[in-house]
Amino acid sequence: MRSRQRMFAAVMRLLLKCLRLGRRRRFKLVRQVGQLWHYGRLCLRSLLYNSFTNGDVVLDSLFEPVYWLVDHVTRWFGVVFVALVIGLTTSIVAIVYICLLPLILQTYTPAWICWHLAYGHWNLIMIVFHYYKAITTSPGHPPQAKNDLTGVSICRKCIAPKPARTHHCSICNRCVLKMDHHCPWLNNCVGHYNHRYFFSFCLFMTMGCIYCSISGWDMFRDAYAAIERMKLLEKERLQVAANQTYYQTPPPPFTFRQRAFHKSVVYLWVLCSSVALALGALTLWHAALITRGETSIERHINKKERQRLQKKGKVFRNPYSYGSWDNWKVFLGVDVPRHWLTRVLLPSPHLPHGTGLSWELPPCMTEQRTPLLAI
């Protein structure tokens, strides 16, 4: 009996010792996993720590692959977009010369013929000139040597001097003077030296599309009605052929030339109207920016600065704005009244005011403000 009790006690002690060892091992394993977790977390923080890191920086880092893809796709598609603009514009001009111009010469009065010939060719010359200058003119880039400039910041991406109103284009991978945006339809940045060409192209292209839409409205209605009549007669012809009623006279077929003429007129009107709406909205947007003396990028920067100063009870003033009318004169390069004809209504390759590195008052503004300063 005593031997059985001793054996039972020994077994229980052995069982308790095993449980105690298992618990120690389990606690040791949990402790080791916790230590590894804290160590890995500390290493990750030490490698990625930045006192300027916030939610916006983390979000930008996560979207960096998307930005890279968009930049490279936009750079490659720029050539395709330029070819598309040239192809669509050429097709519209070809339709006007082949289909509409003979009709105008046959049916319109001499006064209207002179008006259409003069305005249409002037508008076409302005579109071609400004588009060519916009895609071939460099927007302007700051010099790489810092000794040439004073009081400028440094671009964080290209590690080069960054004058006022200069921004880095991730698609061109360069800093651009007075950058407005990167336009894929130009395959070029819109900056200090080609901003006027870009806006003039948008303006004259919109005017040309509106001119084609208004002038071709009656032709479009007739062509659309003719196409619907073609479809109806084609359906009747198929029904006659299916019923095999040879005693009936089949409807007269439309020739290929007639079909091509009507479809070309419809294509011209639809394309010109669509471009007029889309490009007209863009032109109005840029016209409002020019009136305020801002670029597309500066509009967002100035809006945030205006809100920040408003909270402090202060008023924000754009240092690059000279007033609505004077902003247009500076943008278009109008120094004397005759420049409205030679530099605005006619093709002109004149350079903008200043170099884009510093922003002193233009000469025309200085002459107007001298009497006020004298007082």
pLDDT the model gives residue 257 = 83
Residue 16: inside a domain: no
- Residues with Cβ within 8 Å of 273's Cβ and at least 6 positions away in sequence, in order, are 209, 213
**Known catalytic residue at 209:** no
pLDDT on residue 286: 96
Tens of pLDDT along 342-358? 999 999 999 998 888 88
Residue 341 C-beta-side C-alpha neighbours within 13 Å: 2
Residue 31 is predicted with a pLDDT of: 76
For residue 339, is it within any domain? yes
Does the residue 17 lie in any domain?
A: no
Backbone angles phi and psi of 253, in degrees to 5: -75, 150
Beta bridge partners of 153: 162
pLDDT at 374: 33
306, 247 contact by CB (below 8 A): no
Catalytically annotated residue among 99, 169, 172, 183: 183
- Is the residue at 205 inside a domain? yes
**Residue 106 to residue 250: CA distance in whole angstroms:** 32
**For residue 240, what are the contacts with CB-CB under 8 A and spacing of at least 6?**
248, 250, 251
Q: Which residues of the chain are under the pLDDT cut of 50?
A: 246, 367-375
DSSP state, 362?
P
**Number of domains the chain is built from:** 1
**Does residue 202 lie within any of the structural domains?**
yes
Residue 370: predicted pLDDT: 40
Note the pLDDT of residue 70: 64
Which helix (H) or strand (E) segment holds residue 176: the answer is strand 174-176
Whether 12 is covered by a domain: the verdict is: no
Is 287 part of a structural domain of the chain? yes
pLDDT at 32: 77
Q: Is residue 148 part of a domain?
A: yes
Cβ pair 363, 203 in contact under 8 A: no
Look up the domain containing 176 and give its range. 62-244+252-365
